[in-house]
Amino acid sequence: MTTTSPWAEHPAAPDPDPDLQAAVTELGAAVRDLLETTVTTTVPAGEQAAVAAGVRGLTARLAAATRGRHTLSALDDLPTFRRTYSPVTGVGNGFAPPVQFRREGDTVVGETVLGLRHEGPPAHCHGGVSALLMDQLLGSAAFLAGRWGMTAHLVLTYHGAVPLQTPLVLTARITETSGRKTVVTGGIALAAEPDRELVSGEAVFVSPRPELLELYFGALTTADGSPAPGHGATDGTAL
């Protein structure tokens, strides 16, 4: 299979600082609990106002040093798909479930449980959150097969409402590859009924032309200020 990864020739990044990894994971988990409790708490107004003031104080401490949008986090590595703050897979992102995807033969699988911070219809997942999960699931299937691309097309069918606080299973597989294009299908089901898809979909991922790579990611640097891996790419199909 032709690779569409801009990082095929790039050496593996060193393992991340374990202390930073542990602290970021713990902060992400703490904020995840905070977010989930924020949307479920029924404590009185005065208590919520007091907590808000405390949270603003904590935010100010974190804001003492921040990165801009063109700088990768010190824990991230694009060639190995390590994305600490992804809204789907990121352990450091409190909105993320988070869900981890793995390869099983020609299929990519992930399990997760969604919370009330993901609610659309009462007690059920927001359709846009399902779309977010599907985009990442299908994109991960492409990436884990060495075929990175950006979402060019995504179609979904919502067969049944996705319940919150219920174990779910997400599966995807590649159905077609040609040049810079990868077509992937997949779905979301209850872990208890994996063969009945509540959401199914298909996406086309396209590895961008070099000019687009430069436009989108030309300013990207690693945390230490070096150009991000993937720069110097000249051919979107076999980098």
198 contacts ligand 3VV (rule: CB under 6 A):
no
Say whether residue 232 binds ligand 3VV (CB under 6 A): no
Q: Is 217 in the site for ligand 3VV (CB under 6 A)?
A: yes
Out of 9, 179, 191, 192, the residue judged to bind ligand 3VV by CB under 6 A:
179
User: Count of CB atoms within 10 A of residue 192's CB?
Assistant: 10
Smallest CA-to-CA distance from 89 within 123, 124, 120, 135 is with 135
CA distance linking residue 80 with residue 10, whole number of Å:
10
**Nearer Cβ to ligand 3VV (128/179):** 179
**Please, which residue, 112 or 136, has the CB nearer to ligand 3VV?**
136
Q: Which of 24, 91, 145, 204 binds ligand 3VV (CB under 6 A)?
A: 204
Position 152 contacts ligand 3VV (CB under 6 A): yes
Backbone angles phi, psi at 115, to 5 degrees: -115, -175
Report phi then psi at 16, rounded to 5.
-70, 155
Q: How far is the CB of 161 from ligand 3VV (least distance, A)?
A: 24
Q: Binding-site residue total for ligand 3VV (CB under 6 A)?
A: 25
Angle at 67 between CA 64 and CA 70, to 5 degrees: 165
Alpha helices in the chain (DSSP H): 18-38, 45-62, 127-144, 210-217
Q: Is 82 an interacting residue with respect to ligand 3VV (CB under 6 A)?
A: no
Among 108, 188, 208, 239, binds ligand 3VV (CB under 6 A): 208
Among 27, 74, 169, 212, binds ligand 3VV (CB under 6 A): 212
Q: Which residue, chain included where needed, has tokens 């992400």?
A: 28
230 contributes a contact to ligand 3VV by CB under 6 A: yes
Structure tokens belonging to residue 39 = 């949307």
Q: What DSSP assignment string belongs to 144-174?
A: HTT---EEEEEEEEE-S--BSSS-EEEEEEE
Segment contacting ligand 3VV by CB under 6 A, of 51-59, 97-105, 173-181, 193-201? 173-181
Which residues contact ligand 3VV (rule: CB under 6 A)?
Answer: 6, 78, 83, 135-136, 139, 150-153, 178-181, 204, 206, 208-209, 212-213, 217, 220, 228, 230-231
